[in-house]
A and B are shown apart, each in its own frame.
Chain A
Amino acid sequence: MSRPGPVSTRAVRWSALVVALLLAGVVSFYAATSPDGLNRVAQDQGFASTETEHAAGDGPLSDYQTRGVDQGRLSGGAAGVVGVLVVLGLATALTYAVRRRPSRTSTGA
Chain B
Amino acid sequence: MHVPDGFLDAPTSIATGVVAAVAVGVALKGARRELDDRTAPMAGLVAAFIFATQMINFPVGVGTSGHLLGGALAAILVGPFTGLLCMTCVLIVQSLLFADGGITALGTNIDLMGVTTVALGWLAFVAARAILPKRTSSVAPAAAFAALLTVPASAMVFVLLYSLGGTADIPIDTLAAAMLGVHLVVGAGEAVITFFAIASIVAVRPDLIYGARPLIARRELEVRVSEASA
Q: Which residues of A contact B (CB under 8 A)?
A: 4-7, 9, 12-13, 16-17, 19-21, 23-24, 27-28, 31-38, 40-42, 44-47, 50-57, 59, 61-64, 79-80, 82-92, 94-96, 98-100, 102
Kindly provide the distance from the CB of A52 to the nearest chain B CB, expressed in whole angstroms. Answer: 3
Residue in chain B with minimal CB distance to A91? B47
Choose the segment among B121-129, B142-150, B165-173, B222-230 that binds chain A (4+ C-beta atoms closer than 8 Å).
B165-173
CB pair A38–B28 under 8 Å, yes or no, is no
Which among A21, A35, A94 is the interface contact of B64 at CB below 8 angstroms? A35
Given contacts A5-B206, A27-B56, A51-B6, contact A36 B66 (CB under 8 A): yes
The answer to whether B168 touches A47, judged by C-beta atoms less than 8 angstroms apart, is yes
How many contacting A-B pairs (Cβ < 8 A)?
222
CA distance A79 to B2 in the complex (A): 18
Do A56 and B103 touch across chains, with their CB atoms under 8 A apart? yes
Which residues of the other chain, A, contact B1 by a CB distance below 8 angstroms?
36-38
A residues within 8 A CB of B186?
37
CA distance A37 to B102 in the complex (A): 16
Which parts of B73-87 form the interface with A (CB within 8 Å)?
Answer: 82, 85-86
Q: How far is the CB of B75 from chain A (nearest CB, A)?
A: 14
Interface status of B160 (Cβ within 8 A of chain A): no
Q: Assuming A46-B168, A102-B36, what are 13 further A-B pairs, CB within 8 angstroms?
A: A20-B49, A28-B52, A33-B65, A35-B63, A36-B65, A36-B67, A38-B1, A38-B2, A40-B182, A44-B178, A64-B100, A84-B48, A87-B89
Contact of A95 among B35, B51, B90 (CB under 8 A): B35
- The 8 Å CB contact of B99, one of A6, A62, A99, A100, is A62
Is B56 within 8 A of A28, CB to CB? Answer: yes
Interface size class of B (residues with CB under 8 A): 35 or more
Contact: A64 with B93, CB < 8 Å?
no
**B40:A52 contact, CB within 8 angstroms:** no
> 5 closest pairs, A vs B, by CB?
A92-B44, A52-B6, A91-B47, A47-B168, A32-B65
15 contacts between A and B (CB under 8 A): A9-B41, A12-B201, A24-B52, A36-B57, A36-B64, A38-B158, A45-B174, A47-B168, A52-B4, A54-B99, A87-B93, A88-B48, A91-B46, A95-B85, A98-B35
